[in-house]
Amino acid sequence: MTYRSSRSALRRLGLAAALLALSMSAAGEDAREFTAAELGRIAAHGPWPLPWTPDPGNRVSGNAAAIWLGHQLFFDRRLSANGRVACATCHDPDLGFQDGRATGRGLATGVRNTPGLLNVRHQRWFGWDGGHDNLWSASLRPILDPSEMGGSAQRTASVLRNDKALACHYGQAFGKRPHASDPELLVNVAKAIAAWQETLVSPASPFDRFRDALARQDARATVAYPVAAQRGLRLFLGRGQCATCHAGPMFTNGEFGDTGMPFFVKPNGVDPGRQGGIKRLLANPHNLLGPYNDDVTRNNATGTKFLRPEHRNFGEFKVPTLRNLPVTAPYMHNGSLATLRDVVRHYSELDEDRLHADGERILKPLKLSEEEIDDLVAFLKSLSPTIQMPVLAKPATLSACIADEPNARKPNDRQSR
């Protein structure tokens, strides 16, 4: 949890790179021929990175002072009831902002797997059940959640007031000092933390370079992409039908699905998934239909406004992004699958009785051979960067705050350093 620590994530990714390079040199000459239809589908998974635009619902999105503040608070354990849990406790930068556990553990152990936060700006729904329609309300929830941080507006305001650098950045971002009596305080803090998380973008992966090389018909450059990954890609787009849900540059359509994962939780409860998420969302005063949405046009609230609850939502979970998977194990909403091989095996041996009778009929047990499983895993791994992850900027200091004009730096400045 230090600012230099993204190095070891790097080492991990570096290892993946070395392995890819190995398999590449063995079979480099055997480049696949993709059909025109396949080429179109491959192109649809890029380009990467996506253009960054400020979040219209968050007035400090892209604001330098807010980004400083949010960065500091993300690592600040003082926001929690016992002074020991920070966002970074579960969202560890070394692990793509995940924690390596099956389910998150703060003040208590939860029932869901901690999602990684790289590229989180591009999500439509937040949480495995999509219980939030914006990044700042998903960032406010854990501060108050008694099993995660168990904090309060009172506690947050006192942390801000008693830390000159934080108070200064808060003042610069919001034009006022932090006050516990301010009903907006927690929302503002969450908006600052969101502004920082929006800057977390993963660099281009071997897949992205392959995709770009195909797009510009640079046959030489395509050879660098391992043949196993190419075979995996073909499976992913074709027989596997994976891209039906894991679509676009983020490898998710941003919606929800049922993949036959069990939804029972110990001791004898169930996780209703999307069905509960829609209820939670509509009851939340911090949703985009509510007064804290900074977009006066409410154009950013389309998803929430037109939601249509369906019977099949029970047991549906968000289709996760497939970028950066090697560092974010274990997998699925309950963290029950330890490795990517386990996930691919799950799709290979799918228990059809577990799938909704009235729902999606595109998932079938794929009955993959061991080689095909290897190929799909090689492809999934190729969606992670092999170069250095962006180094996190330095934490906020008082002198930085005094020296810095608000908005003087754009978030991109930070990533390229």
Partner 1 sequence: MTGRFCWQGVPIAVAMSIAAATAHAACPPATVDGAVVSKGELVLAYRPVANADKGAKPDRIPMAQHFALEVQLCEKGAASTARLHKADASMPEHKHGMNYRPVITSLGAGHFRVEGMMFHMAGRWELTFEVHAGKETVRLTHDVQVE
Residue ranges that bind partner 1, judged by CB under 8 A: 40-41, 44, 56, 243-245, 247-248, 253-256, 295, 297, 299-300, 302-303, 305-308, 310, 312, 358-362
Q: Which residues pair with 257 in a beta bridge?
A: 317
Closest distance of CB 287 from partner 1, Å: 15
- Nearest 5 degrees, angle CA 155-CA 123-CA 415? 75
From the list partner 1, ligand HEC, none, which binds 8 (C-beta under 5 to 8 Å, kind-based)?
none
From the list ligand HEC, partner 1, none, which binds 306 (C-beta under 5 to 8 Å, kind-based)?
partner 1
Place of tokens 């999307």: 274
Contact indicator for 131, 281 with CB cutoff of 8 Å: yes
Place of tokens 């980004």: 67
From the list partner 1, ligand HEC, none, which binds 310 (C-beta under 5 to 8 Å, kind-based)?
partner 1
CA dihedral (344, 345, 346, 352) in degrees, to 10, reads 120
d(CA 216, CA 389): 26
Distances (CA, A) of 65 to 57, 91, 356, 401: 17, 22, 48, 7
Decide whether 197 or 415 has the Cβ nearer to ligand HEC.
197
Closest distance of CB 118 from ligand HEC, Å: 10
From the list partner 1, ligand HEC, none, which binds 66 (C-beta under 5 to 8 Å, kind-based)?
none
Of 128, 119, 353, 116, nearest in space to 257 by CA: 128
Of 131, 142, 279, 273, nearest in space to 197 by CA: 142
Closest distance of CB 327 from ligand HEC, Å: 11
Q: Both tokens of residue 14?
A: 């570096």
Give SS3 for 119. Answer: coil
Taking only Cα atoms into account, the Rg of the chain, rounded to an integer number of angstroms, comes to: 22
From the list ligand HEC, partner 1, none, which binds 361 (C-beta under 5 to 8 Å, kind-based)?
partner 1
CA dihedral (287, 293, 299, 301) in degrees, to 10, reads 0
DSSP-derived secondary structure for 75-88? T-GGGSTTS---HH
Q: Packing angle between helix 227-237 and helix 6-27, nearest 10 degrees?
A: 100
From the list ligand HEC, partner 1, none, which binds 64 (C-beta under 5 to 8 Å, kind-based)?
none
Closest distance of CB 255 from partner 1, Å: 4
From the list partner 1, ligand HEC, none, which binds 138 (C-beta under 5 to 8 Å, kind-based)?
ligand HEC
Decide whether 20 or 327 has the Cβ nearer to ligand HEC.
327
Which run of H or E residues covers position 318? strand 317-318
Decide whether 2 or 302 has the Cβ nearer to partner 1.
302
Instruction: Write out the residues near ligand HEC by the rule CB under 6 A.
Output: 74, 85, 87, 89-91, 104-106, 110, 112, 114-115, 117, 120, 123, 126-129, 131, 135, 138-139, 142-143, 148-149, 193, 236, 240-242, 244-246, 257, 259, 261, 317, 319-320, 322, 325, 328, 331-333, 340, 343-344, 347, 360, 362-363, 366, 376, 380
Decide whether 170 or 347 has the Cβ nearer to ligand HEC.
347
Closest distance of CB 208 from ligand HEC, Å: 18
Closest distance of CB 188 from ligand HEC, Å: 13
Decide whether 155 or 217 has the Cβ nearer to ligand HEC.
155
Closest distance of CB 411 from partner 1, Å: 20
Ramachandran category for residue 113: left, alpha or beta (phi over 0 → left; psi -120 to 50 → alpha):
beta
Closest distance of CB 240 from ligand HEC, Å: 4
From the list partner 1, ligand HEC, none, which binds 305 (C-beta under 5 to 8 Å, kind-based)?
partner 1
Decide whether 88 or 366 has the Cβ nearer to partner 1.
366
From the list partner 1, ligand HEC, none, which binds 282 (C-beta under 5 to 8 Å, kind-based)?
none
d(CA 257, CA 239): 18
d(CA 169, CA 27): 54
